[in-house]
Amino acid sequence: MTFMKAETVVTGVIAIAWGLVISVGMYAVTRSVQRFVFPEPEPATVMWSAHAGFFWRVWTVIYAGGFAAFVAWLAARGHRLAAARALAPAIVVAAALLALQTTFLP
Protein backbone atom coordinates (compact mmCIF):
# COMPACT_ATOMS: atom_id res chain seq x y z
CA MET A 1 0.00 0.00 0.00
CA THR A 2 1.46 3.32 -1.02
CA PHE A 3 0.85 6.67 0.56
CA MET A 4 0.74 10.00 -1.16
CA LYS A 5 3.60 12.38 -0.74
CA ALA A 6 3.07 15.18 1.75
CA GLU A 7 3.52 17.77 -1.01
CA THR A 8 0.68 16.24 -3.00
CA VAL A 9 -1.64 16.28 0.00
CA VAL A 10 -0.78 19.90 0.80
CA THR A 11 -1.33 20.90 -2.83
CA GLY A 12 -4.71 19.15 -2.80
CA VAL A 13 -5.80 20.89 0.39
CA ILE A 14 -4.76 24.28 -1.00
CA ALA A 15 -6.65 23.55 -4.22
CA ILE A 16 -9.81 22.56 -2.32
CA ALA A 17 -9.55 25.71 -0.22
CA TRP A 18 -9.28 27.82 -3.38
CA GLY A 19 -12.31 26.03 -4.83
CA LEU A 20 -14.36 26.82 -1.74
CA VAL A 21 -13.29 30.47 -1.68
CA ILE A 22 -14.07 30.89 -5.38
CA SER A 23 -17.48 29.25 -4.86
CA VAL A 24 -18.41 31.72 -2.12
CA GLY A 25 -17.29 34.72 -4.16
CA MET A 26 -19.00 33.43 -7.29
CA TYR A 27 -22.25 32.93 -5.41
CA ALA A 28 -22.31 36.59 -4.41
CA VAL A 29 -21.50 37.72 -7.95
CA THR A 30 -24.01 35.31 -9.53
CA ARG A 31 -26.79 36.37 -7.16
CA SER A 32 -26.09 40.05 -7.79
CA VAL A 33 -26.10 39.64 -11.56
CA GLN A 34 -29.24 37.53 -11.41
CA ARG A 35 -30.99 40.12 -9.28
CA PHE A 36 -30.48 42.81 -11.94
CA VAL A 37 -30.72 40.79 -15.14
CA PHE A 38 -33.41 38.23 -14.22
CA PRO A 39 -35.55 39.57 -11.38
CA GLU A 40 -37.60 36.84 -9.75
CA PRO A 41 -41.36 37.18 -9.34
CA GLU A 42 -42.95 37.74 -5.96
CA PRO A 43 -42.92 34.31 -4.21
CA ALA A 44 -46.39 34.87 -2.75
CA THR A 45 -47.92 35.11 -6.24
CA VAL A 46 -46.22 32.04 -7.72
CA MET A 47 -47.92 28.74 -6.99
CA TRP A 48 -45.25 26.48 -8.48
CA SER A 49 -42.10 26.96 -10.50
CA ALA A 50 -39.88 24.43 -12.21
CA HIS A 51 -36.96 26.80 -11.81
CA ALA A 52 -35.66 27.23 -8.29
CA GLY A 53 -33.10 30.02 -8.62
CA PHE A 54 -31.24 29.21 -5.42
CA PHE A 55 -30.51 25.63 -6.43
CA TRP A 56 -29.38 26.64 -9.92
CA ARG A 57 -27.01 29.22 -8.41
CA VAL A 58 -25.63 26.68 -5.95
CA TRP A 59 -24.99 24.06 -8.63
CA THR A 60 -23.42 26.67 -10.90
CA VAL A 61 -20.98 27.91 -8.25
CA ILE A 62 -20.16 24.33 -7.18
CA TYR A 63 -19.18 23.66 -10.79
CA ALA A 64 -17.14 26.89 -10.93
CA GLY A 65 -15.47 26.06 -7.61
CA GLY A 66 -14.55 22.58 -8.80
CA PHE A 67 -13.07 24.01 -11.96
CA ALA A 68 -11.18 26.63 -9.94
CA ALA A 69 -9.87 23.93 -7.59
CA PHE A 70 -8.50 21.99 -10.54
CA VAL A 71 -6.81 25.10 -11.96
CA ALA A 72 -5.47 25.97 -8.49
CA TRP A 73 -4.08 22.46 -8.14
CA LEU A 74 -2.24 22.85 -11.44
CA ALA A 75 -0.93 26.29 -10.45
CA ALA A 76 -0.02 25.38 -6.87
CA ARG A 77 2.05 22.31 -7.68
CA GLY A 78 5.22 24.34 -7.99
CA HIS A 79 4.23 27.31 -5.85
CA ARG A 80 2.48 25.94 -2.77
CA LEU A 81 3.65 28.67 -0.42
CA ALA A 82 2.53 31.49 -2.72
CA ALA A 83 -0.84 29.80 -3.31
CA ALA A 84 -1.37 29.36 0.43
CA ARG A 85 -0.39 32.96 1.19
CA ALA A 86 -2.77 34.29 -1.44
CA LEU A 87 -5.69 32.50 0.24
CA ALA A 88 -5.96 35.00 3.11
CA PRO A 89 -6.75 38.05 0.94
CA ALA A 90 -8.98 35.91 -1.27
CA ILE A 91 -11.02 34.85 1.75
CA VAL A 92 -11.42 38.49 2.78
CA VAL A 93 -12.56 39.46 -0.73
CA ALA A 94 -15.04 36.58 -0.95
CA ALA A 95 -16.45 37.39 2.50
CA ALA A 96 -16.77 41.07 1.60
CA LEU A 97 -18.57 40.22 -1.65
CA LEU A 98 -20.98 37.94 0.18
CA ALA A 99 -21.58 40.52 2.92
CA LEU A 100 -22.29 43.26 0.36
CA GLN A 101 -24.59 41.01 -1.64
CA THR A 102 -26.61 39.89 1.37
CA THR A 103 -26.84 43.44 2.70
CA PHE A 104 -27.87 45.27 -0.46
CA LEU A 105 -29.29 42.57 -2.74
CA PRO A 106 -31.03 39.97 -0.55
Q: Which residues contact 105 (CB under 8 A, 6 or more apart)?
A: 31, 32, 35
Question: Is residue 2 assigned to a domain?
Answer: no
What's the structural domain count of the chain? 1
Is residue 79 assigned to a domain? yes
Is residue 91 situated within a structural domain? yes
Q: What percent of the chain has pLDDT over 70?
A: 86
- Please provide the average confidence, as pLDDT, over all residues in the chain: 87
Is 43 a member of any domain? Answer: no
Q: What is the pLDDT of residues 45-77, one digit of tens each?
A: 666 666 677 888 899 999 999 999 999 999 998
pLDDT the model gives residue 44: 58
Does 69 fall in a domain?
yes
pLDDT number for residue 1: 41
Q: Is residue 3 part of a domain?
A: no
Q: Which domain, by its residues, includes 31? A: 17-38+51-104
Per-residue confidence band for 42, with pLDDT thresholds at 50, 70 and 90: low
Q: Is the pLDDT of residue 28 over 50?
A: yes
- Say if 12 falls within a structural domain: no
Q: Model-level pTM?
A: 0.82
Is 82 within a domain?
yes
